[in-house]
């Protein structure tokens, strides 16, 4: 009787790391910074119109800043990866034997005996030498490679989405209650965001949720205090 081995597709969570990091960072930053800005302005006894102007300006400026910052940061990572790959390509052309020994040494360190490690290195290099060294020596893979445009667009979009939530709450709340409405809504949104990020990333829920809620509450408390003091002074 012949046993049929069925191959099955596996969806690993590491595949999500590129966009998930930028999405969580953008949404969290949009929520915290805009809610804190609104709370700080509201604490200075500003009108609803002034609060909305400040919040809208914070949304636009923050989204552009996030996009530019992510693009520059991830582009630097991408430049470093390309430079490393170019250097590795030259080394493979100049001394393939030494590169094969280097790859075999990596596999030996991971637990293979020398003969098997050498055979594995030879076979992988015969198929894709640069790919084997990029993956096992440099730690560069298709899942972790830098994607500047993706990171920039994701960060800008998620920042705007996160920032829009406290801005909508501020628009429908009375000016003298904006601090309380926006703070409560922002903490709720942050808790939901932390739980969703943990769920998508395959982590346990409570710790990330508590973490983002704590830092959000601290940021809003600090800006509310500053807004109150500045409002009195002015």
For the chain, how far is it from start to end, CA to CA, in angstroms? 88
Question: DSSP for 131-177?
Answer: HHHHHHTS---TTTS--HHHHHHHHHHHHHHHHHHHHHHHHHS-GGG
8 A C-beta contact, residue 189 and residue 31: yes
pLDDT computed for residue 58 by the predictor: 92
pLDDT computed for residue 4 by the predictor: 46
Q: Give domain status of residue 4, yes or no.
A: no
Q: Give domain status of residue 205, yes or no.
A: yes
pLDDT band at 77 (very low <50, low <70, confident <90, very high): confident
What is the pLDDT of the chain when averaged over all its residues? 81
8 A C-beta contact, residue 140 and residue 84: yes
Q: How far apart (Å, rounded) are the C-alpha atoms in residues 101 and 157?
A: 46
Q: How far apart (Å, rounded) are the C-alpha atoms in residues 11 and 184?
A: 36
Statement: residue 60 has pLDDT above 90: yes
pLDDT band at 232 (very low <50, low <70, confident <90, very high): low
Cβ-count burial 39-71 (b if 16+ within 10 Å, e if not)? bbbbbbebebeebbebbbebbeebbeebbeebb
Q: How far apart (Å, rounded) are the C-alpha atoms in residues 163 and 57?
A: 11
Neighbouring CB atoms inside 10 A of 185's CB total 18
pLDDT band at 13 (very low <50, low <70, confident <90, very high): very low
pLDDT computed for residue 169 by the predictor: 93
Q: Give domain status of residue 142, yes or no.
A: yes
SS3 letters across 37-71: HHHHHHHCCCCHHHHHHHHHHHHHHHHHHHHHHHH
207: containing domain: 17-233
pLDDT computed for residue 167 by the predictor: 93
**pLDDT per residue over 171-221, tens digit each?**
999 888 888 999 999 989 888 877 877 776 666 778 877 887 888 888 888
pLDDT computed for residue 213 by the predictor: 82
Q: Give domain status of residue 188, yes or no.
A: yes
pLDDT computed for residue 198 by the predictor: 72
Q: Give the rounded percent of residues in the chain with a pLDDT score beyond 70.
A: 84
pLDDT band at 53 (very low <50, low <70, confident <90, very high): very high
Number of domains, the chain? 1
Contacting residues for 52 by C-beta, under 8 A, at least 6 apart: 167, 170, 171
Q: Which two tokens stand for residue 224?
A: 């509310």
pLDDT computed for residue 3 by the predictor: 47
**pLDDT per residue over 123-181, tens digit each?**
888 888 888 888 887 777 665 566 788 878 888 898 999 999 999 999 999 888 888 99
Q: Which two tokens stand for residue 160?
A: 């705007």
8 A C-beta contact, residue 186 and residue 35: yes
Q: Give domain status of residue 10, yes or no.
A: no
SS3 3: coil
Q: CA-based angle 40:41:43, to the nearest 5? A: 65
Residue 15 or residue 56, greater confidence: 56
Statement: residue 32 has pLDDT above 80: yes
Q: Give domain status of residue 6, yes or no.
A: no
Q: Give domain status of residue 73, yes or no.
A: yes
Q: Give domain status of residue 63, yes or no.
A: yes
- What mean pLDDT comes out for the span 27-46? 87
8 A C-beta contact, residue 212 and residue 193: yes
């Amino acid at each position: 009787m012949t046993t049929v081995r069925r191959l099955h597709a596996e969806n690993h969570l590491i595949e999500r790391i590129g966009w998930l990091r930028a999405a969580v960072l953008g949404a969290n930053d949009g929520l915290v910074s805009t809610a804190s800005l609104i709370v700080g302005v509201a604490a200075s006894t500003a009108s609803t119109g002034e609060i909305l102007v400040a919040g809208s300006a914070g949304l636009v400026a923050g989204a552009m800043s996030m996009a530019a910052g992510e693009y520059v940061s991830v582009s630097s990572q991408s430049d470093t990866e390309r430079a490393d790959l170019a250097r590795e390509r030259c080394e493979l052309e100049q001394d393939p034997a030494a590169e094969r020994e280097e790859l075999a040494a990596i596999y030996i360190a991971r637990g293979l005996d020398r003969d098997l490690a050498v055979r594995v290195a030879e076979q992988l290099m015969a198929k894709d030498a640069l790919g084997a060294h990029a993956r096992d020596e440099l730690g560069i893979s298709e899942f972790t490679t830098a994607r500047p445009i993706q990171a920039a667009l994701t960060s800008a979009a998620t920042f705007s989405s996160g920032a829009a939530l406290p801005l909508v709450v501020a628009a429908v709340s009375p000016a003298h209650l904006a601090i309380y409405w926006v703070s409560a809504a922002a903490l709720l949104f942050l808790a939901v965001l932390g739980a969703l990020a943990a769920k998508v990333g395959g982590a346990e829920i409570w710790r990330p949720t508590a973490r983002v809620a704590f830092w959000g509450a601290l940021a809003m408390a600090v800006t509310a205090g500053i807004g109150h003091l500045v409002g009195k002074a002015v």
